[in-house]
Structure 1
């Protein structure tokens, strides 16, 4: 299992970039992968995927900079686009004439996606948006390991945190559909319960770790953002 970052600049604003994460077999292997977010440029993402089969396109939330390239990336790869249904109203702003292919929910049947020799486990982490999610990458899923027991298999390779958690704190909660107390609860319950050494790879900017961010939660609460 490998995790690759592809930095995609926004059209007309190269100073604004998104991290797209590709999880699975290495490029050139002819294997498979999952793409986390479809930002700005589907052709650049498809080029990074190369000869791999895309099992799914997982959208961490519905903001346009994370879903904007999803329909074309689906056309290029044939992979289903998955979004939490609570963010469908945001998707519809970006793509009024297209629909996602499936829902990301808290149900076990839909949150665990097998890829390569591991799994991507999607966790609902509302706060930045109502349907915001993160993806935890678990390696080396053995044949006798049930999907719902992936936490016990091996330490995670990383959590791909979208806009829920960044180096230095939580994602923005300035919209009327956002909630700072909710994002703090999501981070505490769904991310900071992972081992402290777990890398955190966000949707923008540099990576961090669970332990590094856990040390500052009370400071975030005190400042209110």
Structure 2
């Protein structure tokens, strides 16, 4: 049963974590899971509870974030359609693989690849002003991003956003489109999970993350719309490097 006995003082740390994580995710198209899970673990939340809670919250925050990006006209609907269908297929395949084998062995290699992409984006953002052009490789990215998100516990934002930016797509519409399409993917992957766990997943941490994440979602979309393309490119590169390096450290330690 849902426990309503906790007060505002209990919720505040988790509201702050949800707000900060979603602000970054909404503005840069990635990292809600990485940031919130890391901070929850640092507060002493058990790993399984942190992972399950974050996964549940993302079903709601991605919806609000996607709606906010749509309102700010950050979504390219043609790109959205080409990402969502293979993304859902990849998510279903990834969920199946997760029940059959351990996908964690490949995680350090994927993170190393994302760190390299981050270095490249950082270098390009500093050295060369972004020149927008339509990306050509889209469906394979959606398939890979959906698969890794389900099988590896995350990957849609980092894989899809970073690779579309490498191809020269406009940062604002990439971030908005990836965020909006993530809602469809997250609901597809999470439906059984949420129905199975029900209200028991709504712990203090989950409720706090949900409040903070939903509150920050509109602000992230606003930042993505207003920030210069060059700044977004640099920030995505820095975020990829930091989160991938931390992930590699945890995977190898």
Range of TM-score over shorter length:
under 0.3
User: Structure 1 or 2: larger strand share?
Assistant: 1
So what's the TM-score if we normalise by structure 2? Answer: 0.25
So what's the TM-score if we normalise by structure 1? Answer: 0.27
Per chain length, whose mean CA-contact separation is higher, i.e. which structure has more relative contact order (CA < 8 Å, sep 6+)? 2
When Rg is computed on C-alpha atoms for both structures, the one with the higher figure is: 2
